[in-house]
Structure 1
Amino acid sequence: MSRVTEPADVTETRAAYDLVAEDYAELLRGDLAGSEYDRAMLGVFAEQIARAGGGLVGDLGCGPGRIAGYLAGLGMDVAGIDLSPRMVEVARREHPGARFEVGSMAALPLGDAELAGALAWYSIIHTPDDRQGELFAEFARVVRPGGVVLLAFQVGSDVVHLTHAYGHDLDLRTRRQEPGRVRARLAEAGFVFTSELVRAPVAPEKVPQAYVMARRAN
């Protein structure tokens, strides 16, 4: 029987985030308190989920769980999923009010239409362009009709190769995204675009930051 080989970028991403998990969590601790735009978009997301009757929300690529923890604090039922086992360990320790599991965004450990909503908060940025369609199709599989998705990402079209970050030498690539292309991928996967916000960078950010929200078609 042939063995399925994991894409090199997946291995690279897991290794990098396993390495930096503790320092990453510490660096971003309290970050939401200083970002009114982040809190505003998360608030809109939470309100739309509640208005539709509530249900389980997936934080896809949850890292150390700071967004999942914030949403749990708003009274939401949240499950965080991340590729990095070390990130999941940190998330479980720091945010006991949410559930966390190791898993890939390209093959989520979730049933069809299990989620009332999902967010990918700066987590689609590690998937190469030629596999992003698969990622969005997987989001569509796990989000119920009428469910909400929220994506956050850096704006651009270039690939940034990080060799040192969060106090560690590492090997990690991040891919900036064009909002129009993200909207097109969402539409191809069966989502209906509802809103978008692009804001200017705030130091140490170097490029604009975008938030795109959509609804799973009925």
Structure 2
Amino acid sequence: MPAAARAHRSEKVVCYIVRDDHLLVFTHRDYPMEQTGVQVPAGTLDPGEDAVAGALREAIEESGLTGLRVVALLGEDEYDIAPVRDEVLHRRFFLLEVDEVAGDENAGGLEVAGGELEPRLDLTARWEHRDPDPSGGGEAPRWECFWMPLEWGHVLSCGQGRFVGVAADLVTERKGRPDGGRAGPVAAAAPPPAGHHVRTVPVEPEPGRRPTTFWPGLEDPDHSHAYVQRFRVMPARGEDLEGESRLVDVLAPRHAHLLDAGCGPGRHGGHLARLGHRVVGVDLDPVLIDAAGQDPPGATWLVGDLVELDLPSQGITEPFDGVLLAGNVMDFLTPEVRGEALRRIAGHLAADGFVVVGCRVTRGFTPAELDALLPEVGLTLEQRFATWDLRPWETTSGFAVSVLRKGS
């Protein structure tokens, strides 16, 4: 019998507290590093306790910080800790942020004296802390808390670094939103889909069997199911998921023919369809297309590879007024086929049609790579912004929104 089937199962939360691209971590002072390693706040949910409330409680107890707010459920896994104990940990991973301003009515604020930043928010700070309510009773263990660059998070012990890439990508994404990523309380985590026990959210390209794509959902559908769930939960938290589609709506004529290329679960194309546009969404992942099709009708959803895009062969002959490539779509195409994908997309455009591309700046498919491809595909750069709400582009920006135009 597999260990997971016979072991005791515990409900756990793991907390990524992030500030300025740094992660709050700690090391135990009363145990050797070889035994405990570097950890983030984590712990067991009380019976009947909501996972979001439990994450906030554990984060406060194990860091000593106040002014914390839960931003997102990043994913879930099951971690077998044998041979330490015959126990499987069902872990929910959360992203949390910390406010600097005292008296914030939503977050509680931090103690700020004389206008100075709370000392523990200094990224060079180290402080000793004890669990005020140790679960095993007795004297509370001591640990040293400090901030570590988020990109180093994969050194965390006990597999706690599993969702560091997810967190890093979400932090970058939130920086490009109109509200700076600030949102209301996170909704309670939904249960895993039936038959899916280990769930991850794909945000980083991973080599797979298909030569044209790095999308991990084709190798492991659990990635895709978690990705769908992530974007279904976010609106309940008050997150703005329509900035990309609002920009396209401004650029497009009324009742435009629009292509959502790499549409995922259809959040942008669905919104544009509700605004009265005629939308076609294309994605390589059948799980995501199935999710898009579950929304109210109004758009056409197709499984397809952007590198082989040929919609006239499927009966869609009308050229498109505009195309949206959001969510780092180009990152998930292998480098050698990105030019061909962009050429095929441009070939589906009407004269004077536009393409809007969102991409990261420092890694993956960058604006420099995009600019190098434009002459060969017949597109020109018309505008570039740092966010979907059109904040000015600077060379230090962490994200780029590029508006491209096809010649008339």
Shorter-chain TM range is: 0.7 to 0.9
Counterpart for residue 160 of structure 1: none
**Could you list the per-position Cα deviations for residues 91-128 of structure 1 after superposition, in whole angstroms to 9, with x for gaps in the alignment?**
10124221101111111141376211111112111112
Instruction: Give the one of 398, 402, 407 matched to 1:212.
Output: 402
Instruction: Give the one of 320, 325, 350 matched to 1:115.
Output: 320
The whole-number CA distance in structure 1 between the counterparts of 2:296 and 2:330 is: 22
1:94 aligns with 2:295: yes
The whole-number CA distance in structure 1 between the counterparts of 2:369 and 2:214 is: 26
Counterpart amino acid of residue 19 in structure 1? D
Counterpart for residue 195 of structure 1: 383
Counterpart for residue 249 of structure 2: 46
Show structure 2 runs of 5+ residues with no match. 1-208, 388-396
Number of residue-to-residue matches in the alignment:
184
The 1:181/1:29 distance shift into structure 2, 3 A limit, reads same
1:56 aligns with 2:244: no
- Return the TM-score normalized by structure 2: 0.41
Counterpart amino acid of residue 304 in structure 2? G
Task: Please give the secondary structure, in 2, of the residue aligned with 1:106.
Answer: helix
Q: Which runs of structure 2 are paired with 1:40-189 in the superposition (5 Å)?
A: 41-50=244-253, 54-111=255-312, 114-121=319-326, 122-157=328-363, 176-189=364-377
Once the two structures are TM-superposed, the CA of residue 189 in structure 1 deviates from its matched residue by 0.8
The whole-number CA distance in structure 2 between the counterparts of 1:23 and 1:95 is: 21
The 1:215/1:9 distance shift into structure 2, 3 A limit, reads closer
Runs of 4+ in 1 over 6 A off after TM superposition: none
Once the two structures are TM-superposed, the CA of residue 215 in structure 1 deviates from its matched residue by 1.0
The whole-number CA distance in structure 1 between the counterparts of 2:215 and 2:368 is: 27
The whole-number CA distance in structure 2 between the counterparts of 1:147 and 1:138 is: 14
Bigger Cα Rg: 2
Task: Please give the secondary structure, in 2, of the residue aligned with 1:8.
Answer: coil
The whole-number CA distance in structure 2 between the counterparts of 1:47 and 1:139 is: 20
The 1:30/1:57 distance shift into structure 2, 3 A limit, reads farther
Once the two structures are TM-superposed, the CA of residue 146 in structure 1 deviates from its matched residue by 0.7
- Return the TM-score normalized by structure 1: 0.73
Once the two structures are TM-superposed, the CA of residue 16 in structure 1 deviates from its matched residue by 4.3
The 1:138/1:9 distance shift into structure 2, 3 A limit, reads closer
Ranked by relative contact order (alpha carbons within 8 Å, sequence separation 6 or more), the top structure is 1
Once the two structures are TM-superposed, the CA of residue 181 in structure 1 deviates from its matched residue by 2.2
The 1:44/1:9 distance shift into structure 2, 3 A limit, reads closer
Indicate the percent of aligned positions where both proteins have the same amino acid: 23
Task: Please give the secondary structure, in 2, of the residue aligned with 1:183.
Answer: helix
Is the contact made by 2:214 and 2:334 (CA closer than 8 Å) also made in structure 1?
no
Alpha-carbon RMSD across the aligned residues, in angstroms, is: 2.6
Counterpart amino acid of residue 74 in structure 1? L
Once the two structures are TM-superposed, the CA of residue 34 in structure 1 deviates from its matched residue by 2.8
